[in-house]
Amino acid sequence: MRELSLNILDITENSLKAKATLVEIDVTVVGNLLTIVIKDNGCGMSKEFLAKVTDPYTTTRTTRSVGLGIPLIKMEAEMSGGSFEIQSTVGVGTTVTTTFAVDHIDRPPLGDVGETIMTLLTELNDTRIVFTYYANGQSFCFDTLELQQQLEGIPLDTPEILQFVKQLINENMNTINGGMLL
Protein backbone atom coordinates (compact mmCIF):
# COMPACT_ATOMS: atom_id res chain seq x y z
CA MET A 1 0.00 0.00 0.00
CA ARG A 2 1.28 3.45 -0.87
CA GLU A 3 -0.41 5.22 2.05
CA LEU A 4 -1.40 4.21 5.58
CA SER A 5 -4.80 5.76 4.93
CA LEU A 6 -5.34 3.00 2.33
CA ASN A 7 -4.65 0.40 5.03
CA ILE A 8 -7.19 2.19 7.25
CA LEU A 9 -9.75 1.88 4.44
CA ASP A 10 -8.90 -1.78 3.96
CA ILE A 11 -9.07 -2.76 7.65
CA THR A 12 -12.27 -0.77 8.20
CA GLU A 13 -13.88 -2.66 5.30
CA ASN A 14 -13.38 -5.78 7.44
CA SER A 15 -15.23 -4.08 10.31
CA LEU A 16 -18.14 -3.24 8.03
CA LYS A 17 -18.18 -6.79 6.70
CA ALA A 18 -18.29 -8.00 10.33
CA LYS A 19 -21.57 -6.06 10.60
CA ALA A 20 -20.26 -3.53 13.10
CA THR A 21 -22.67 -0.77 14.10
CA LEU A 22 -19.85 1.34 15.51
CA VAL A 23 -16.34 1.71 14.11
CA GLU A 24 -13.87 3.96 15.89
CA ILE A 25 -10.78 5.02 13.96
CA ASP A 26 -8.13 6.81 16.00
CA VAL A 27 -4.97 8.27 14.51
CA THR A 28 -2.65 9.69 17.14
CA VAL A 29 0.75 11.29 16.82
CA VAL A 30 2.74 11.71 20.03
CA GLY A 31 6.42 12.46 19.71
CA ASN A 32 7.89 10.03 17.23
CA LEU A 33 5.06 7.53 17.54
CA LEU A 34 2.16 7.31 15.10
CA THR A 35 -0.61 5.05 16.38
CA ILE A 36 -3.58 3.83 14.36
CA VAL A 37 -6.37 2.08 16.22
CA ILE A 38 -9.39 0.62 14.44
CA LYS A 39 -11.97 -0.68 16.87
CA ASP A 40 -15.32 -2.21 15.97
CA ASN A 41 -18.23 -3.90 17.68
CA GLY A 42 -18.72 -6.42 14.86
CA CYS A 43 -19.07 -10.18 15.06
CA GLY A 44 -15.49 -10.77 16.26
CA MET A 45 -13.33 -13.81 15.59
CA SER A 46 -12.88 -17.15 17.29
CA LYS A 47 -9.58 -17.84 19.10
CA GLU A 48 -8.67 -20.33 16.38
CA PHE A 49 -9.26 -17.86 13.54
CA LEU A 50 -7.55 -15.03 15.44
CA ALA A 51 -4.44 -17.17 15.90
CA LYS A 52 -3.94 -17.49 12.14
CA VAL A 53 -5.39 -14.16 10.98
CA THR A 54 -1.97 -12.67 10.16
CA ASP A 55 -1.27 -15.61 7.85
CA PRO A 56 -1.77 -14.48 4.21
CA TYR A 57 -3.39 -17.83 3.44
CA THR A 58 -6.18 -17.13 5.90
CA THR A 59 -9.21 -15.30 4.54
CA THR A 60 -12.98 -15.14 4.64
CA ARG A 61 -13.20 -14.14 1.01
CA THR A 62 -14.78 -16.69 -1.27
CA THR A 63 -13.22 -15.56 -4.53
CA ARG A 64 -9.75 -16.86 -3.69
CA SER A 65 -7.80 -18.26 -0.76
CA VAL A 66 -5.45 -15.34 -0.10
CA GLY A 67 -6.15 -12.45 2.26
CA LEU A 68 -3.50 -9.75 2.49
CA GLY A 69 -5.17 -6.89 4.39
CA ILE A 70 -4.01 -7.79 7.89
CA PRO A 71 -0.59 -9.20 6.84
CA LEU A 72 0.13 -5.99 4.86
CA ILE A 73 -0.53 -3.54 7.69
CA LYS A 74 1.40 -5.80 10.10
CA MET A 75 4.40 -5.89 7.76
CA GLU A 76 4.30 -2.12 7.23
CA ALA A 77 4.21 -1.47 10.98
CA GLU A 78 7.03 -3.87 11.73
CA MET A 79 9.28 -2.63 8.94
CA SER A 80 8.90 0.95 10.14
CA GLY A 81 9.94 0.39 13.74
CA GLY A 82 6.43 -0.12 15.03
CA SER A 83 4.17 -2.88 16.25
CA PHE A 84 0.97 -4.72 15.41
CA GLU A 85 -1.64 -6.08 17.77
CA ILE A 86 -5.08 -7.54 17.19
CA GLN A 87 -7.65 -8.37 19.84
CA SER A 88 -10.97 -9.98 19.11
CA THR A 89 -13.83 -11.59 20.97
CA VAL A 90 -16.77 -13.30 19.34
CA GLY A 91 -19.88 -11.20 19.77
CA VAL A 92 -17.94 -8.23 21.17
CA GLY A 93 -15.77 -6.98 18.34
CA THR A 94 -12.25 -6.54 17.06
CA THR A 95 -9.54 -3.99 17.74
CA VAL A 96 -6.51 -3.59 15.47
CA THR A 97 -3.70 -1.47 16.92
CA THR A 98 -0.65 -0.54 14.86
CA THR A 99 2.20 1.80 15.67
CA PHE A 100 4.84 3.35 13.43
CA ALA A 101 8.01 5.35 14.06
CA VAL A 102 7.22 8.71 12.45
CA ASP A 103 10.82 9.30 11.29
CA HIS A 104 11.44 5.77 9.99
CA ILE A 105 12.50 5.80 6.35
CA ASP A 106 10.29 2.82 5.50
CA ARG A 107 7.13 4.26 7.02
CA PRO A 108 4.52 4.91 4.32
CA PRO A 109 2.99 8.40 4.43
CA LEU A 110 -0.36 8.76 6.18
CA GLY A 111 -1.88 10.02 2.92
CA ASP A 112 -5.40 11.19 2.15
CA VAL A 113 -7.44 10.29 5.24
CA GLY A 114 -10.37 12.47 4.13
CA GLU A 115 -10.71 10.42 0.96
CA THR A 116 -10.58 7.19 2.99
CA ILE A 117 -13.37 8.26 5.36
CA MET A 118 -15.44 9.62 2.47
CA THR A 119 -15.14 6.33 0.61
CA LEU A 120 -16.40 4.43 3.66
CA LEU A 121 -19.58 6.48 3.92
CA THR A 122 -21.37 5.09 0.85
CA GLU A 123 -24.20 2.69 1.66
CA LEU A 124 -23.16 2.69 5.31
CA ASN A 125 -26.70 1.88 6.45
CA ASP A 126 -26.85 2.14 10.24
CA THR A 127 -23.15 1.91 10.98
CA ARG A 128 -21.66 4.83 12.87
CA ILE A 129 -18.08 5.79 12.12
CA VAL A 130 -16.15 7.99 14.51
CA PHE A 131 -12.77 9.27 13.35
CA THR A 132 -10.45 11.04 15.77
CA TYR A 133 -7.15 12.66 14.90
CA TYR A 134 -4.76 13.84 17.57
CA ALA A 135 -1.43 15.58 16.95
CA ASN A 136 0.51 18.55 18.27
CA GLY A 137 -1.68 18.61 21.38
CA GLN A 138 -4.84 19.27 19.32
CA SER A 139 -7.59 16.95 18.25
CA PHE A 140 -10.30 16.76 15.62
CA CYS A 141 -13.26 14.42 15.67
CA PHE A 142 -15.61 13.46 12.84
CA ASP A 143 -18.70 11.50 13.81
CA THR A 144 -21.22 10.27 11.23
CA LEU A 145 -23.98 10.47 13.86
CA GLU A 146 -23.27 14.16 14.39
CA LEU A 147 -23.27 14.73 10.62
CA GLN A 148 -26.53 12.84 10.16
CA GLN A 149 -28.21 15.03 12.77
CA GLN A 150 -27.24 18.05 10.68
CA LEU A 151 -28.48 16.49 7.45
CA GLU A 152 -32.16 16.29 8.35
CA GLY A 153 -32.84 13.17 6.32
CA ILE A 154 -30.59 13.82 3.34
CA PRO A 155 -28.55 10.66 2.69
CA LEU A 156 -24.98 10.68 3.96
CA ASP A 157 -23.72 9.33 0.64
CA THR A 158 -25.03 12.17 -1.50
CA PRO A 159 -21.98 13.06 -3.65
CA GLU A 160 -21.97 16.72 -2.55
CA ILE A 161 -22.03 15.65 1.12
CA LEU A 162 -19.15 13.24 0.54
CA GLN A 163 -17.08 16.00 -1.10
CA PHE A 164 -17.72 18.14 1.96
CA VAL A 165 -16.67 15.38 4.37
CA LYS A 166 -13.39 14.88 2.55
CA GLN A 167 -12.58 18.60 2.67
CA LEU A 168 -13.71 18.91 6.29
CA ILE A 169 -11.38 16.16 7.46
CA ASN A 170 -8.38 17.14 5.36
CA GLU A 171 -8.61 20.86 6.20
CA ASN A 172 -8.83 20.18 9.92
CA MET A 173 -5.98 17.69 9.84
CA ASN A 174 -3.79 20.10 7.85
CA THR A 175 -4.49 22.86 10.35
CA ILE A 176 -3.55 20.61 13.27
CA ASN A 177 -0.43 19.47 11.45
CA GLY A 178 0.57 23.09 10.85
CA GLY A 179 2.24 22.37 7.53
CA MET A 180 4.00 19.23 8.78
CA LEU A 181 3.58 16.44 6.26
CA LEU A 182 2.86 13.04 7.78
Partner 1 sequence: MKTIADIQAIRDKMKSQIVVRDKDTSDEIRVIVGMATCGISAGARPVFNTLMDEVANRQLKNVKVVRTGCLGMCTLEPIVEVLEPGKEKVTYCRVTPAKAKEIIDRHIVGGNICTQYLINNEE
Alpha helices by DSSP H, 18-158 = 47-51, 69-79, 113-120, 144-151
Stretch near partner 1 under the rule CB under 8 A, chosen from 34-42, 44-52, 61-69, 96-104: 61-69
Q: Say if CB 133 and CB 139 are below 8 A apart.
A: yes
Stretch near partner 1 under the rule CB under 8 A, chosen from 37-45, 68-76, 91-99, 128-136: 68-76
Pairing label, strands 93-101, 83-89: antiparallel
Neighbours of 26 (CB within 10 A): 17
CB-nearer residue toward partner 1: 32 or 52: 52
Looking at the DSSP bridge assignments, the partners of residue 128 are 22
Shortest distance in whole angstroms from residue 168 CB to partner 1:
5
User: Could you list the residues that contact partner 1 (CB under 8 A)?
Assistant: 1, 6, 9-10, 13, 17, 61, 63-64, 67-69, 72, 112, 115-116, 118-119, 122-123, 142, 146-147, 150-155, 158-164, 166-168, 171-172, 175
